[in-house]
Chain A
Amino acid sequence: MSTATAPVPGGPAGADADAPGGMAGAVRDWWTNVRGGQLGSLPIIVGLVIIAIVFQTQNDRFLTAGNFVNLIVQSAAYTTIAMGIVFVLLLGEIDLSVGYVSGVAGVIAAVLLIPDGNELGTGVAIVLALGSGVAIGTLHGLIITKIGIPSFVVTLAGLIAWNGVVLLLIGSRGTVVLQDDLLIGLANDFLPEGVSWILMIAAAAIFAAIQLNEVRVRRKAGLEHDPFSVIGLKVGALALALAVVVYVANEDRGIPYLLLVVGFFLLFWGFVLRRTKFGRYVYAVGGNAEAARRAGINVDRIRIQVFAICSFMAAVGGLVLASRLRSVDTNSGGGEILLYSIAAAVIGGTSLFGGIGHIKSAILGALVIASIDNGLGLLGLGSGEKFLITGGVLLLAVTVDSLSRRRQTQTGRA
């Protein structure tokens, strides 16, 4: 997946004054950036490798095709919720309510789909569940911007209130078992082998086409572009990584539909953040809200939209969780969901101070958290050890980030 592009310096923007340096120049630039403290995704990939080695030596079931597919399914809910968290962190805000907002969405869908004679169609129930997420986020955003209460407090109130809504919606039922095949299939069905291969090849080809088109456009405008050797390496690395994922998954049950869901949101939000005015303004407001305001940007509107996106992604995560567990109950949205989702975004490299981060950090961070959770589970350790170690990793990730930023200051890049 996106990890494949990590060994190459920061994307097309990495073009330098001495771009004709080719592959050697590109590698040299990348190393200069790393030494200057711009580590990119390097620490987290090193971390994932270490996690894999440690768990594999302790229990040889960790690196099996079956467990690999489990990991994809287990991390998917954290990934989708963390994507929303990345947006609020980019603004320098926080949303503490995502756990129970995901619970509200999951319960709404499950309750609307109870086959009691007046159940709704699956599509309608899903739209209403996701819509409730958008409505909740818009409400949070309006309170934060129009009344001027810090997001920490508003979403803390939301954490309590939406927990109440989950309890009220479940009512005396205790547990609502999901009986809708389509929604259950979301987290429990797998792509046919052939379809996975076709999608994999299509993804690599589209990526290559986008890269080459960028070179063409930049050449026409007389700007520097990445050398072809670097583009070839990027495309090759992506294709190889995707092929490994598809091959390994096909050894077991195949690629889960959830991976397509996660992949879709990764591409979609990545596009929104990199290629649209809205995305640019999210970074601008997070970096310097006053500058954004003076540039004529409606800062309040951006904030409200971002909170709506965050709660929407929480609702998506709620549906994923409901589907994976095949039921919702009074605990839906509780437990470690909130903490793991925020930790995933931060471990993935999104700054808590706003303006710095990528949507892919949600995936990388969630993968780390799910790996630790999964690996410790295989070793038969309980929640106590899990939380202790996950907390340690979170602290380590923030420390690496903070040290690399100090390094950037020293080398005049921050």
Chain B
Amino acid sequence: MSDEALLELRGVSKHFGAVIALHEVDFRVPAGCVTALVGDNGAGKSTLIKCVAGIYRIDGGEIVYDGQPVNITHPREASALGIEVVYQDLALADNLDVVQNMFLGREELEPMRTLDETKMEARARDTLKGLSVTTIRSVRQTVAGLSGGQRQSVAVAKAVMWNSKLVILDEPTAALGVAQTRQVLDLVKRLAEQGLGVILISHNLFDIFEVADNIMVLRLGQNVAEFKRRETTEEEVVHAITAGTLSKVPGMAVDETSEGVVA
């Protein structure tokens, strides 16, 4: 664990009209660690990652990435910086095989502008091997035939193949059984071991205590607590999620109830 943060949000705010989604949020993500982002529904987790991924523009504060202040206004800029998001729906095309999905939109071409299938297949195989994903029998089988855990592995491999430094995983285990969850959590750990920064969004505290190094709690768009996993308990985290102290009472500044805070 280094003190140098890969990604740092300083006082980031985001509002949609009068609704405050994020209020002066500070968030540090060191490289080589799994940082869990937790909070109840509507706490602002999704808004926060969308700001980092370039889908939303922030209204206040700054994002520092790799020591430099950055202004991410488009998903492509996030990709260029090495930030990849694996969304909950994975965005895989069922009718394409594993290789085709991993390279979708960024195909390798031969000199004659035709697809370089050999190069793509070899790279896909090596990437999966590098992540110790051994459950996928053939990289030429269609994604339709894969289990939930295998699909998640493909989506993660797709994200890390492009020299990414920061991988954001949105609820990666939400739809998985016990064994499949195990596979994916192991994969998350390996990403951090390889030196990547990992943000893990999850509702499942069991998963979080399994893999996370740091836990950051959002409540109603504000950060209310930060824990080191080794120094905290589930009770403490749950308490922070449901009743953490807010620096700013919702509805005080603007004419909105707490329900008005959106995710």
Residues of A within 8 A of B (CB): 13-17, 217-218, 220-223, 275-277, 280, 283-284, 286-288, 290-292, 294-297, 354-356, 412-414
With A276-B113, A287-B96: A295-B105 Cβ-Cβ less than 8 Å: yes
Q: Chain A's nearest CB lies how many Å from the CB of B170?
A: 13
In the complex, chain A residues whose CB is within 8 Å of the CB of B87: 294
Q: Is the beta-carbon distance between A221 and B122 smaller than 8 angstroms?
A: yes
Taking CB atoms and an 8 Å cut-off, the chain B residues in 51-102 that contact chain A are 75-76, 87, 89, 91-97, 100-101
Count of chain B residues with a beta carbon within 8 Å of a chain A beta carbon: 32
Given the known A-B contacts A218-B118, A287-B96, A291-B104, are A414 and B144 also in contact in the complex, defined by CB atoms under 8 Å?
yes
Task: Decide yes or no whether B145 CB sits under 8 A from chain A.
Answer: yes
A223 touching B138, Cβ below 8 Å: no
Q: Are B113 and A284 in contact (CB-based, < 8 A)?
A: no
Other-chain contact of B107, A217, A280, A354 (Cβ < 8 Å): A280
Shortest 4 CB-CB distances between A and B: which pairs? A295-B105, A287-B93, A355-B95, A287-B95
B114 at the interface (CB under 8 A from A): yes
Contact A295–B96 (Cβ < 8 Å) = no
A221 touches B137 (CB 8 A): no
Q: Does B40 contact A (CB under 8 A)?
A: no
Bound complex: CA A291 to CA B104 (Å)? 9
Any A CB within 8 A of the CB of B18:
no
Q: A223-B118, A223-B121, A296-B76 are in contact. Are A412 and B145 (CB under 8 A)?
A: yes
A-B residue pairs in contact (CB < 8 Å), sample of 11: A217-B118, A220-B118, A221-B122, A275-B114, A276-B114, A284-B93, A284-B104, A287-B93, A296-B106, A354-B95, A355-B93
Most buried by A among B93, B144, B145: B93
How many Å from the CB of B134 to the closest CB on chain A? Answer: 11
Question: What residue in chain B is nearest A413 (Cβ atoms)?
Answer: B145
Return chain A residues, CB-CB under 8 Å to B100.
Answer: 280, 283-284
Q: Which of A221, A288, A412 has the most CB of B within 10 A?
A: A288
From residue B97, how far is it (CB to closest CB) to chain A in Å?
7
Q: Does B246 contact A (CB under 8 A)?
A: no
Residue of A nearest to B137 (CB): A17
In this assembly, does B140 line the interface, its C-beta being within 8 Å of a C-beta of chain A?
yes
From B94, B100, B104, name the one whose CB has the most chain A CB atoms within 10 angstroms: B104
Tell me if A284 and B121 are in contact (CB < 8 A): no
Which of A17, A288, A356 meets B91, CB within 8 Å? Answer: A288
Q: In the bound complex, what is the Cα–Cα distance between A15 and B125 (angstroms)?
A: 14
Which one of B75, B114, B121, B138 lies within 8 Å of A221 (CB-CB)? B121
Nearest CB of chain B from residue A85's CB, rounded to whole Å: 18
- B213-244 contacts to A (CB < 8 Å): none
Complex contacts, B142 vs chain A, CB 8 Å: 413
Q: Which of B92, B104, B105, B122 contacts A222, CB < 8 Å? A: B122
Q: A277-B109, A280-B107 are in contact. Are A17 and B138 (CB under 8 A)?
A: yes
- Asked whether, in the complex, the Cβ of B121 is within 8 Å of the Cβ of A295, the reply is no
Q: Are B91 and A15 in contact (CB under 8 A)?
A: no
Alpha-carbon distance A413/B119, docked complex (angstroms): 26
Looking at the assembled complex, report how far the CB atom of B244 sits from the nearest CB atom of chain A, in whole angstroms. 33
Q: Which residue of the partner chain, among B89, B104, B122, B140, contacts A295 with CB atoms under 8 Å? A: B104
Q: Which residue of chain A has the shortest Cβ distance to B92 in the bound complex?
A: A291
Find residues 138-153 in chain B having any chain A CB closer than 8 Å to their own CB.
Answer: 138, 140, 142, 144-145
Residues of A within 8 A of B249 (CB): none
> With contacts A13-B140, A221-B119, A290-B91 known, is A297 near B96, CB below 8 A?
no
Sample of 8 further A-B pairs with CB below 8 A, known A223-B118, A276-B115, A284-B96 = A13-B97, A221-B118, A222-B122, A291-B91, A291-B101, A294-B87, A295-B105, A297-B104
Docked complex Cα distance between A413 and B95 (Å): 11
B138→A16 contact, CB < 8 A? yes
Closest to B94 in A: A287
Residues of A close to B97: CB separation below 8 A? 13
